[in-house]
Amino acid sequence: MTAILSDRFLDRLARARSVVAFTGAGISAESGVPTFRGNQGIWTKFKPEELANLDAFLSNPSLVWEWYSARRKVMGEVQPNAGHLALARLEQSFPSVTVVTQNIDNLHRRAGSKHVLELHGNIDRNYCMGCGARYVGDEILFKEGIPQCSGCGGLVRPDVVWFGEMLPLDQWDESVKAIESADVVLSIGTSGVVFPAAELPLYGKRHGAYTVEINPEETELSETMDEVVRGKSAQVLPELVKELESRGVGKQTQKISRK
Ligand code: BJW
Ligand code: ZN
């Protein structure tokens, strides 16, 4: 099946200087990383409030750690898919391309995207809740299944954002800045139910960006987008790149106009 890319969308892109891709778990689905919600979602088995919050971690650190270890293993073993690679390739067509991701899986960077902002942390980083010491990957001391800081004995946690926690301010501020100055904002593979991240495409729209959702399913954001493309990102994004390149859209061809 070929996704339909409207002329309006392609024209807006052809005139764009700055593009932001706002991504969620769906962009990594075709790499083999399960999404959170929906039929294939990991949270059909685990409820978010059971695992992705500080209270759960404090009351059962080994269970939550086990969950993150299993996911770290999957995320390390899979490869970026055609959707991640197409986004990285977009950098050849526009002066500014920013990926604002809710994912913690590193796949955008591994695909070659250079400007990636991570709103919900990164699976490869961990830190001690006692002294702040940083740990990379799985190289952590365990005492009875509980990850411990080798410096102060404190509890080590993944450097990810759980429910009720603030997003990293630098990543948030930079994301808002990029989205508010974008000509086109693509919302890809996210259900749009988790705030404040889900507000970002709307910030773009309010500041004049053309907003397009790429998702096989309807989401909380669909109605507010200027346009929706119903399809899987690993199929739609390469088509988009191909179309742009066949129209000769390159860094020299853009005009400043946002009309
Ligand atoms: C495909 C596809 C294919 C499939 N191609 N697409 C305002 C209103 C109501 C509540 C709140 C609010 N503001 C804050 C809240 C509370 C809360 C919240 O949003 N709750 C809602 C659930 C109601 N938010 C927070 O707590 C946030 N913090 C905060 O607000 O701090 C301020 C504050 C603090 C203290 C006091 C007061 C204020 C923090 C949110 C942190 C979210 N963390 C997680 C876990 C990260 C670590 C980890 O990975 O383990 O982030 S939860 C989880 O959801 C993860 C994701 O990044 C996030 C979003 O999920 P995503 O990416 O959209 O995935 P899915 O599975 O939902 O959707 C996948 C989509 O892909 C689907 O649409 C599919 O169709 C599609 N798809 N295949 C393209 N091939
Ligand atoms: Zn410590």
CATH number at residue 153: 3.30.1600.10
pLDDT of residue 2: 56
| 115 labelled catalytic | no
Residues 196 and 254 in one domain: yes
Each of the 259 residues of the chain gets a pLDDT tens digit; together they read 456 899 999 999 999 999 999 999 999 999 999 998 876 666 666 766 678 999 999 999 998 998 899 999 999 999 999 999 999 999 999 999 999 999 999 999 999 999 999 999 999 999 999 999 999 976 788 888 889 999 999 999 999 999 999 999 999 999 999 999 999 999 999 999 999 999 999 999 999 999 999 999 999 999 999 999 999 999 999 999 999 999 888 654 444 444 3
pLDDT of residue 142: 86
Residues 112 and 182 in one domain: yes
40, 51, 194, 200, best to mutate for ligand 1 pocket (most atoms within 8 Å of CB): 194
Tokens of 7: 């002329």
pLDDT of residue 1: 47
Q: Which long-range contacts (CB under 8 A, 24 or more apart) does 46-53 make?
A: 48/163, 49/163, 52/160, 52/162, 52/163, 53/162, 53/163, 53/164
CATH code for the domain in which residue 187 is found: 3.40.50.1220
Rounded to an integer, what distance in angstroms lies between the CA atom of residue 96 and that of residue 90?
9
Instruction: Report which protein residue has its CA nearest ligand 1's atom 75.
Output: 217
Residues 3 and 101 in one domain: yes
In single-letter form, the type of residue at position 119 comes to L
pLDDT of residue 255: 45
Output the ligand 1 site: residues, CB below 6 A: 24-26, 29-30, 35-38, 41, 48, 52, 102, 104, 120, 160-166, 189-191, 193-196, 215-217, 219, 232-233
Residues 146 and 239 in one domain: no
Task: Find the angle CA(141)-CA(121)-CA(239) to the nearest 5 degrees.
Answer: 130
pLDDT of residue 50: 73
pLDDT of residue 141: 84
How many residues appear in the chain?
A: 259
Residues 152 and 223 in one domain: no
**DSSP assignment of 200-240:** HHHHHHHTT-EEEEE-SS--TTGGGSSEEE-S-HHHHHHHH
Q: Which domain holds residue 63?
A: 34-77+123-160
Instruction: Report which protein residue has its CA nearest ligand 1's atom 2.
Output: 26
